[in-house]
Copies of this chain bind each other. A is one copy, B any other.
Amino acid sequence: MTDQPLELVVRASHEISLLTSDRITEALEELRLTLATAHALWAIDPAEPAPSMKVLADRLFCNAPNLSFLVNQLVERGYVARDVDANDRRSRVVVLTEEGRRVRERVMRVTLEQSPFAGCEPEELSRLAAILQRVLDRTGPRPSTRPARGGSERTG
């Protein structure tokens, strides 16, 4: 009865995430990051406009106080800076520093290398990507870690 595909998929997906987290923890320590701060750093794509605290909190499924804490960690380590948004002076945007960009690249590289998905054939990976993309699209648009390639996003 444990063999229904949905259960297998949910468990496998979760297991793969945990395994990946477990494998990268050591490398993250060298970068003075934890899983939480590394995830926050990952969520700031230098190719996109700098996200506000609120946007970032939504991306990370966490609340404002928690994000303040995480960003403080990154600021202390010199990986990001806070800027006041000129269009709304209540809002602070989080900007990667030069070193932050480098460290973020390293986090991504290590994570992709260590992921069990790294062992997939390109063809298998493409099928997987297509399915997962569809699944995410169906859940309704998220505050975008992944900015919708053909997208209608009006980021300014």
Q: With A9-B132, A13-B13, A135-B119 as known contacts, state yes or no: A22 contacts B61, CB within 8 Å.
A: yes
Residue positions of A touching B, CB distance < 8 A: 2-3, 5-22, 45, 47, 60-61, 108, 111-112, 115-120, 122, 124-129, 131-136, 138-139, 142, 145-147, 149
Q: With A6-B117, A116-B138, A138-B116 as known contacts, state yes or no: A131 contacts B132, CB within 8 Å.
A: no
Does A128 lie within 8 Å of B2, measured CB to CB?
Answer: no
Tell which of A5, A16, A119, A136 has the most Cβ of chain B within 10 Å.
Answer: A5
Beta-carbon nearest neighbor of A114 in chain B: B10
What secondary structure prevails in chain A residues at the interface with B? helix
* Shortest distance from the beta carbon of A151 to any chain B beta carbon, whole Å: 12
Extra pairs beyond A119-B135, A124-B131 (10, CB < 8 Å) = A6-B115, A7-B108, A9-B117, A12-B132, A12-B136, A12-B146, A16-B135, A16-B136, A18-B61, A127-B131
| Interfacial chain B residues near A126, Cβ < 8 Å | 5
* Cα distance A112–B7 in the bound complex, in angstroms: 7
